[in-house]
Structure 1
Amino acid sequence: MIMVSCVRTLIAGALLFLTAIAGPAMAQEVQLRGLGRFDGWRENALIGYGLVTGLAGSGDTRRNAVTRQALRNVLSRLGTTVTEDQISSRNVAVVMVIATLPASANVGDRIDATVSSIGDARSLAGGTLLMTPMLGPDQRPYALAQGALVAGGYSFESELNQQQRNYPTTALLQSGATVESAVDAQILKNGELSFLLSDPSFGTAQRIAEIINSRFGFGTASAKSADQVKVRFAGDPSTLTAFLAQIETLSVRPESHPRVVVNERTGTIVAGGDVQISSVAISQGDIKITIKAENYASQPGFIAGFANDVRSLVVTNTKLDVDDTVGDTVVRFPNTTVGDLVQGLSRSRVSTRRMISILQAIKTAGALHADIIVQ
């Protein structure tokens, strides 16, 4: 009895803890570095076109004319002239190479690159990427990629038997691209900085401007829109880095947007504990229809041998049952939150997928004061 009493006490304590954490959540202060970025501080996409060699017969076939032409071009630059008829190896594959150039990079920095086949190669495992220029949107080369590839899978085939794991036609070139042209983000324009919010909000933008003004003086910052705060900088350019570091460490309390995120595939509901619902009555009822069909065969055995055109008779008996009392639920809620609503529906044994339908219906009725995001 003592053991049972202890277990019940622990369960009650756990339920009380879960109920407590499901209550309204207060927004906490967040540093500005977690709320947005400065205009001009962005990464840049790079792309290149090259060849992968050293494949063990898993490269492009002779049907891929682009591979043969690319290989001829590479060999001609190295002083070797060959014809298309002399190229019959399947150890080469034509690929696209992509990488991301940081907002600030120096010559000689190493970055990662992703290599993917654009031909009919079966696998890039064990291959080596030849020197490939990486071009930016302005068609200028910013990096050179070359090196051994690391594929996250494999594909082997022999006499119509095939074993494959993951996608071996895509591989990673770890630190295999070298930056050849330095880049530096220009975030100071005409003595002003622009801080861009990731989640636009007029209230959050105004709070950011106020906290900057309280730190650096009135008139330093002003909220231009819901997603942009202008910051003036009139100091020595050599102190710009220290100025930005101080701004990024400032903390403000962002406004929370009431949202309810539902995932119909997994039956998941995520909502803030303070999302409000007006007074509403919910009636959830089911009509369960069950149809059972039984087939019987009537075999005319007593006339077998006397008539050849007599066949068996199949008789189908159908039984229809209608049950409209299973799962009927009527719940009334005063002004409450989504957390209380979900908890009450759970006690009424309403499934998660039905809860999603109920939340969508409450939103349509105008009683749910939040945006519903369906994934």
Structure 2
Amino acid sequence: MNRWTFLPRGLLAAMTIMAASALMPAPAQATRVKDVAAVQGVRSNQLVGYGLVVGLDGTGDGNNAYTTRSLANFMQQMGISLPQGVTVQPKNVAAVLVTADLPAFARPGQTIDVTVSSVGSAKSLRGGTLIQTPLRGADGQVYALAQGSLVVAGAGASAGGSSVTVNHLNAGRIPNGALVERTVPTPLLLGEGVTLALRADDFQTASRVAAAINRAIGDGTAQALDGRTVQVRAPRDPNERVAFLASLEDLPVELATPTARVVFNARTGSVVLNQAVKLAPAAIAHGNLSISISSTPQVSQPPPLAPPGAQTVVTEKADIQVQQDGGKIIEVEASAQLADVVRALNKLGATPQDLLAILQALKAAGALKAELEVI
């Protein structure tokens, strides 16, 4: 009798994938399926909560209305009632928002990291302790409870009216600071198959992922539905499905050539070009225009025999200078490699801010073979 008949179908499919991937020669620039796609529905969930940080060294919110009310409500829950008309001024307490990401398949009793950020006028959260804070999901249910001592990567000091601050003191983290209390169900084990969602929208990559799965398992196992979705038939048994997906993620797939793109960050002035960017022959003339404005205060005093009521007047004298550096025409040769594109752009001697205008002009002239994206 054939010994393979004793194996479950899902396990047999997983072993078939592993054997096929071992015998299959790795293509050039190949990567794994798990690097370009993820199982749809298997994701993390965002949690948020409102709490109080205590134990600060006089750097708390002070006399903020919501911090005072929150502290009074907490003390009342602990069985402490303040006399009528008595208010607290919590200089050692700060109101904070607590955020966390609940990973997929997280079970009750596991711990996750949390981030704590001040929402009031606290000067620093360094040395503080977060008291028990419920973390809720988008549905309003409590999924975790956070508590613990904050880790703030910063320092600050002040003396004589001067202060120095290193890094940011109004936000910190608590490693393993939240205890999971509720599980989020996932659709992994539902239906006859699973859906792979590509991390980038690309029809060629989706087609190649489906082809790699069909070569390893059999025709008709996977089908590319669009440029981001691949439908895969999988075993129904939970254990078999997990083993099937574990082997599926290790299948090699050849990456498609990425879309040529230039990304410009308008806030920092950063310019990033990917390997597919190309330049056609062009001629560029670039000149810098600089404007400087200086202001000089001038004092006008009244003469010695001025009438009563004459006052000294302070006026500002503004001096505006405009300077334009001479530009020269530079010929840019056709470039098929990213290193050649970088060398051609460096010849211009332009700043990153000027580089965006140059790239836009090259794109309009048809010399830049790439998409421009401003973030």
Answer whether TM exceeds 0.5 for this pair.
yes
Q: Show the 5 A alignment for 1:187-198.
A: 187-198=188-199
Could you report, residue by residue, the CA deviation over 1:76-96 in whole angstroms, capped at 9, with x for unpaired residues?
Answer: 111111146242341222211
Where does residue 329 of structure 2 map in the other structure?
A: 329
Query: Structure 1 residues 217, 44: closer, same or farther in 2, change over 3 A?
Result: same
Where does residue 43 of structure 2 map in the other structure?
A: 42
Any gaps of 5 or more consecutive residues in structure 2?
Answer: 1-26, 293-321
Where does residue 128 of structure 1 map in the other structure?
A: 129
Could you report, residue by residue, the CA deviation over 1:94-119 in whole angstroms, capped at 9, with x for unpaired residues?
Answer: 21111111011111111111111112
How many pairs are equivalent? 316
Any gaps of 5 or more consecutive residues in structure 1?
Answer: 1-25, 292-319
Could you report, residue by residue, the CA deviation over 1:141-200 in whole angstroms, capped at 9, with x for unpaired residues?
Answer: 111111111222244445634333322121211211111113353224421211111111
Structure showing greater radius of gyration is 1
CA distance in 2, matches of 1:92, 1:321: 54
CA distance in 1, matches of 2:272, 2:141: 47
- Please tell me whether the aligned partners of residues 195 and 229 of structure 1 are also in contact (alpha carbons under 8 angstroms): yes
Where does residue 6 of structure 1 map in the other structure?
A: none
Cα shift at 1:288: 8.7
CA distance in 2, matches of 1:321, 1:107: 67
Task: Give the match's secondary structure for 2:362.
Answer: helix
Where does residue 68 of structure 2 map in the other structure?
A: 68
Query: Structure 1 residues 162, 222: closer, same or farther in 2, change over 3 A?
Result: same
Where does residue 241 of structure 1 map in the other structure?
A: 242
CA distance in 2, matches of 1:322, 1:140: 62
Task: Give the match's secondary structure for 1:69.
Answer: helix
User: Match for 1:270: what amino acid?
Assistant: L
Query: Structure 1 residues 48, 374: closer, same or farther in 2, change over 3 A?
Result: closer
Task: Give the match's secondary structure for 2:187.
Answer: coil
Cα shift at 1:244: 0.7
CA distance in 2, matches of 1:263, 1:221: 38
Where does residue 230 of structure 1 map in the other structure?
A: 231
Task: Give the match's secondary structure for 1:150.
Answer: coil
Q: Show the 5 A alignment for 1:195-234.
A: 195-234=196-235
Where does residue 94 of structure 2 map in the other structure?
A: 93
CA distance in 2, matches of 1:269, 1:102: 31
2:273 to 270, 273, 276: 270
- Please tell me whether the aligned partners of residues 155 and 165 of structure 1 are also in contact (alpha carbons under 8 angstroms): yes
Indicate the percent of aligned positions where both proteins have the same amino acid.
36
Query: Structure 1 residues 150, 286: closer, same or farther in 2, change over 3 A?
Result: closer
Query: Structure 1 residues 356, 271: closer, same or farther in 2, change over 3 A?
Result: farther
Query: Structure 1 residues 34, 331: closer, same or farther in 2, change over 3 A?
Result: same
Where does residue 77 of structure 1 map in the other structure?
A: 77
Query: Structure 1 residues 242, 48: closer, same or farther in 2, change over 3 A?
Result: same
Where does residue 313 of structure 2 map in the other structure?
A: none
Cα shift at 1:40: 0.5
Where does residue 285 of structure 2 map in the other structure?
A: 284
Cα shift at 1:221: 0.7
Task: Give the match's secondary structure for 1:33.
Answer: helix
CA distance in 1, matches of 2:32, 2:344: 37
User: Match for 2:349: what amino acid?
Assistant: S
Task: Tell me, yes or no, if structure 1 residue 253 matches structure 2 residue 254.
Answer: yes
- Please tell me whether the aligned partners of residues 47 and 137 of structure 2 are also in contact (alpha carbons under 8 angstroms): yes
Query: Structure 1 residues 234, 289: closer, same or farther in 2, change over 3 A?
Result: closer
Q: Show the 5 A alignment for 1:12-27.
A: none
- Using structure 1 for the length normalisation, give the TM-score: 0.74
CA distance in 1, matches of 2:342, 2:211: 38
Could you report, residue by residue, the CA deviation over 1:287-339 in whole angstroms, capped at 9, with x for unpaired residues?
Answer: 99999xxxxxxxxxxxxxxxxxxxxxxxxxxxx9998xx55235264585564
Query: Structure 1 residues 222, 125: closer, same or farther in 2, change over 3 A?
Result: same
CA distance in 2, matches of 1:37, 1:322: 53
Where does residue 15 of structure 2 map in the other structure?
A: none
- Using structure 2 for the length normalisation, give the TM-score: 0.74
Cα shift at 1:210: 0.8
Task: Give the match's secondary structure for 1:49.
Answer: strand
- Please tell me whether the aligned partners of residues 277 and 338 of structure 1 are also in contact (alpha carbons under 8 angstroms): no
User: Match for 2:243: what amino acid?
Assistant: A
Query: Structure 1 residues 82, 365: closer, same or farther in 2, change over 3 A?
Result: same
Query: Structure 1 residues 211, 59: closer, same or farther in 2, change over 3 A?
Result: same
Query: Structure 1 residues 75, 359: closer, same or farther in 2, change over 3 A?
Result: closer
Cα shift at 1:365: 1.7
Could you report, residue by residue, the CA deviation over 1:25-57 in whole angstroms, capped at 9, with x for unpaired residues?
Answer: x97111111112111011111111111111122
